Chain A
Amino acid sequence: MTDLITLKGVNKYYGDYHALRDIDLTIRQGEFFSLLGPSGCGKTTLLRTIAGFEEVTDGTLHIDGKSMKRVPANHRPTNMVFQSYAIFPHLSVAENVGFGLRKDKRLKSEKDKLIAEALEMVGLGGYGGRAAHALSGGQRQRVALARALILKPKVLLLDEPLSALDKKMREQMQVELIKLQREVGITFILVTHDQEEALVMSDRIAVMFEGRIVQMDEPEVLYRRPKDRQVAGFIGLMNFLEGKAGSHVNRAAAAPTKPAPIEVAQQGFLNRLRSQVGLAKPEPKRISHYQSGVEVEVAGLGKALVPADQIKAELHGKPCVVGIRPETLAILFEGETTDRRVTEGVVDEVVYYGDMTYYDVRIAGVEKPLTISMKNLIGRPVLEVGAKTRVAWDERALVCLAP
């Protein structure tokens, strides 16, 4: 993948207000890139800067190797889908979609074909003759997409394109946008405040707070290994516990950590036969238990190991915040056993979602109850408030952050 958009040291001021702070960003050709952050974090300003509606105060912006300094929006290889869609209400759907082709020298019949194709692509085939102002929200959005994509831009900019749609429609459009992006192979830059949307759709996400890019990673990395507390709290749910990083520990030296091989005799006749003739199913790949790392004392849970490369050097020997996701914790129901570590707790709050139940469980030594999400599998009861329970946890799910 080649780099398509490069921003270096970009700053933007509105009077005294510092809207963008030292933005360094590279977006690759064909990437679905998201700018994620709360409202007022500068993500829309950054998008409008790329589109050419805002000039940077200092720093450089290159698109496809060309400097965009003093290049107005109508000469940039970018097209935008606006939050309000900005459909021209006095024109028909086809005239809206063909608006950007006005200056094109091609024949009218050729343009008509392009327009029909573009409408077909967004699922609005045959809508060309309709009046634009009579369309529904979802249809408007499709027209806006077709209108931008018909010009075959190098970059498509999307400013919160789904925020005006209802939940069902939004989820449907998310999938359609991903498919569309793969189909056309154009670089998409999406601005959103919805972390779920960003996680679902993007190849990479830049999380912004107060004009700064705080973390830029693939969705999975962003979710599993947030770099700071703000990011961890903004993306998904995260329990925060007090912790203290200690010294480096090597378990391998202290005790044999490989779980004792399960006796073949225990596996039953058929499996034994399979393994003897080489037909045994491969063991599912697992993240192995840590052999060595920094020992962190976690409030309420006890001592845990965190790999040395996942904890910043300046945190060694200092108080830190330990984050743990609700789905990596588990309630142990009656009769269930686990090889994970277990702590005792009391159910403080139960929120039932149908497919999931969220429990707030109070454990000794922690002020705020831990939120735990459990799938409502067959045979699993929904616990009541006040019930005593056991909570299973795993040190591999911990992230250690600066307080």
Chain B
Amino acid sequence: MNPLRIYAIAYLIFLYAPILLLPVFAFNDGQIIAFPLQGFSTRWFAELWTLSALHDAVGNSLMIAVCSAIFATVLGICAARAGARHKWPLKGPMLSFIMLPLVLPEIIVAVSLLIVFVQVLGLGLSNWTIIAAHTLICMPFSIAILNGAFGNLDPSMEEAAMDLGETRWGAFRKVTLPLVVPGIISSLLISFTISLDEFIIAFFLSGANPTMPVYIWGMLRFPAQLPAVMALGTILVTLSICLLVIAEYFRRRGLARAGLKDTGGFL
């Protein structure tokens, strides 16, 4: 066998085998996370229903994820459209500056935001501080996706709509928006996924109500609850994969609809 192929397979096993262990132990009828397996059971999933603190944490996380996704996408639309249609001094540096959170270590973002919120602005920690921080880290992804959607548009398209009697806003709404909707959906889904499972920032910035990842981290200290964590992890992985696939589907459909070539993306 080609050594490169062996390498590739080993690499994939290294990446994904740990994740595959999640469902294996989630359905294992035993409290200890170890082989040999004890038998098939769904009791850990049933146990999830009884943890009301977990429900609160999931509710928190969903609220934060939805809000961050919406804010990041709206801001992303503004940035991507401005970047695609207008010129201004220092445009290049400014746009790369927005992308910076993509490469900044999250721990640094978390610590500096904690200082800004608490020490400088004197705000209490709440879900809103997490939303602000998640919006910040989701923005680069949102812009990357929307840049593709807006950059592919022919600028004469809006002018043509205005020429045919639409106002500036009407032209944007009736021509540009329908053409970038797939990009917007894709951006919403990816931002949602990122925010939902983000841990470090949420850990630093959450007040009295932990988010789901923070709550899971807390559960890890109690060995009795480990199998339930596995069950929860299984649900999350399934959900993430589904959302990413849907996001990618919309992105590709958007390209096909506008009759354009695929120029990248996340999947």
The verdict on A51 contacting chain B, using a C-beta distance below 8 Å, is yes
Contact A73 B162 (CB under 8 A): yes
Contact partner of B163 (CB less than 8 A), chosen from A74, A83, A88, A134, is: A74
Contact partner of A74 (CB less than 8 A), chosen from B165, B178, B258, is: B165
Give Cα distance in the complex from A4 to B84, angstroms: 36
A residues near B, CB below 8 A?
Answer: 51-53, 72-74, 78-80, 82-84, 86, 88-90, 99-100, 102-103, 133-134, 147-148, 151
The verdict on B103 contacting chain A, using a C-beta distance below 8 Å, is no
Contact A133 B163 (CB under 8 A): no
Contact A99 B164 (CB under 8 A): yes
Q: List 5 A-B contacts (CB under 8 A).
A: A78-B163, A84-B156, A99-B164, A103-B165, A151-B164
Mark B126-166 against chain A: 1 for CB-CB distance below 8 A, else 0. 00000000000000000000000000001011011111111
Query: A146 to nearest B CB, angstroms?
Result: 12
Contact B159 A82 (CB under 8 A): yes
On chain A, the residues within 8 Å of B167 by CB distance are 72, 74
Q: Which residue of B lies closest to A150 (CB)?
A: B164
Give Cα distance in the complex from A100 to B160, angstroms: 10
On chain A, the residues within 8 Å of B85 by CB distance are none
Contact partner of B160 (CB less than 8 A), chosen from A72, A86, A90, A103, is: A86
On chain B, the residues within 8 Å of A53 by CB distance are 159, 162
Contact B164 A100 (CB under 8 A): yes
The verdict on B98 contacting chain A, using a C-beta distance below 8 Å, is no
Contact B159 A133 (CB under 8 A): no
Give Cα distance in the complex from A86 to B161, angstroms: 9
Most A CB atoms within 10 A — which of B160, B163, B257?
B163
Contact B166 A74 (CB under 8 A): yes
Give Cα distance in the complex from A283 to B121, angstroms: 99
Contact B156 A102 (CB under 8 A): no
- Give chain B's interface secondary structure class: helix
Contact B257 A79 (CB under 8 A): no
Contact B258 A51 (CB under 8 A): no
B residues near A, CB below 8 A?
Answer: 154, 156-157, 159-168, 175, 178-179, 257-259
Contact B160 A80 (CB under 8 A): yes
Name 16 extra pairs, CB < 8 A, besides A73-B163, A83-B156, A90-B258: A51-B163, A53-B159, A74-B163, A74-B165, A74-B167, A78-B163, A80-B160, A80-B163, A82-B160, A86-B156, A88-B157, A89-B257, A90-B178, A90-B257, A133-B259, A151-B165
Most B CB atoms within 10 A — which of A52, A80, A89?
A89
Contact B159 A73 (CB under 8 A): yes
Most A CB atoms within 10 A — which of B162, B164, B257?
B164
Give Cα distance in the complex from A83 to B157, angstroms: 11
On chain A, the residues within 8 Å of B257 by CB distance are 89-90, 133
Query: B130 to nearest A CB, angstroms?
Result: 37
Query: B189 to nearest A CB, angstroms?
Result: 21
Q: Which residue of B lies closest to A53 (CB)?
A: B159
* A86-B178 contact, Cβ under 8 Å, with A74-B167, A80-B163, A100-B164: no
Contact B259 A147 (CB under 8 A): no
Give Cα distance in the complex from A134 to B159, angstroms: 22
On chain A, the residues within 8 Å of B156 by CB distance are 82-84, 86
Contact A89 B160 (CB under 8 A): no
* A74-B179 contact, Cβ under 8 Å, with A86-B156, A88-B157, A89-B258: no
Contact A89 B161 (CB under 8 A): no
Query: B86 to nearest A CB, angstroms?
Result: 14
Contact A89 B163 (CB under 8 A): no
Contact B154 A102 (CB under 8 A): no
* A89-B259 contact, Cβ under 8 Å, with A82-B156, A82-B159: yes
Contact B161 A99 (CB under 8 A): yes
Contact partner of B179 (CB less than 8 A), chosen from A90, A100, A148, is: A90
On chain A, the residues within 8 Å of B258 by CB distance are 89-90, 133
Contact A74 B157 (CB under 8 A): no
